[in-house]
Amino acid sequence: MEPGSIDNLCILYQSSDFIVVNKHWDIRIDSKMWYETLTLQSQLKYRFPELADPDTYYGFRFCHQLDFSTSGALCVALNKAAAGSAYKSGATSARAG
């Protein structure tokens, strides 16, 4: 598997409410540290700048988490209603809100 990069983002599913991505194994979901420039958050902002929500801290509503070293499907809600729906389904952590 090639190393993660800003433009290497695999979209598994996309609708008006959700994006499901295949998170690379060596990329953090988000970061508050200025020196961690390659994150899933930055990949999403690069690929979908129009979908970033300035009302959220990270720009996107991550419905659950995957560890830095873990790859796999990760669901991102594109609006507050979708995040609430995902949270209520019980398939997510408290991070979705």
Residues 40-79: tens digit of each pLDDT: 999 999 999 999 999 998 899 999 989 888 999 999 999 9
User: Does the active-site annotation cover 67?
Assistant: yes
Report whether CATH 3.30.2350.10 matches the domain 10-96. yes
What is the C-alpha to C-alpha distance for residues 79 and 72, in angstroms, rounded to an integer? 22
What is the C-alpha to C-alpha distance for residues 48 and 71, in angstroms, rounded to an integer? 21
The token pair at 14 is: 């996309």
Residue % of the chain over a pLDDT of 90: 57
What is the C-alpha to C-alpha distance for residues 39 and 4, in angstroms, rounded to an integer? 9
The token pair at 72 is: 């796999």
Q: Which of these is catalytic: 7, 17, 30, 67?
A: 67
Give the pLDDT band (50/70/90) at residue 97: very low
* pLDDT tens-digit series, residues 11-31: 999 999 999 999 999 899 987
